[in-house]
Amino acid sequence: MPLAFEAFRALNQPLYLTYAKAHLPEDAAAQATVQTAFRLILERWDHVVSQPRPAREAWSELIRCTGSREHPLPVPAESALQYDTVILHQLGKHSAEAIAQATGLDIPKVRYLTGLTPPVLHG
């Protein structure tokens, strides 16, 4: 197993698990789904790391494994990206930085999508 993959998994597993637990009825099912997602990511690791945003590519595997696009939770979101960030921020209390790392989005984009953008001061 590549060392880079092990580091990737260690860094992202808590957020992947938060997301899976939000969409699956039991903790054991969420754990198994996250493990399946990481196994599939590992099988495609060379492809994943060759992408412009490897974390985004890997995140899409978790989305497929959880079925969250087919059965979303009733949260206010105008896009799939906003849905993902809101779930991680509101249910998991994860920071914008951690969400950006796991999903492959830019930190300002995560802040915007979760409503964490600081107000602009007008002088």
The tens digit of pLDDT for each residue in 53-67 reads 999 999 999 999 999
Domain membership flag for residue 120: no
DSSP 73: -
Q: What is the pTM of this model?
A: 0.92
- C-alpha to C-alpha distance for 107 and 92, rounded to whole angstroms: 17
**Residue 84 in domain:** yes
Residue 92 belongs to some domain of the structure: yes
Q: Is the pLDDT of residue 107 over 90?
A: yes
The total of structural domains in the chain comes to 1
In which band, very low, low, confident or very high, does the pLDDT at 76 lie, cut at 50, 70 and 90?
confident
What is the C-alpha separation between 114 and 108, in angstroms, rounded? 10
Each residue's pLDDT tens digit, 34-50: 999 999 999 999 999 99
Could you tell me the residue range of the domain that residue 105 belongs to?
Answer: 3-114
- 78 found inside a domain: yes
Q: Is residue 121 part of a domain?
A: no
CA atoms within 13 A on the CB side of 40: 16
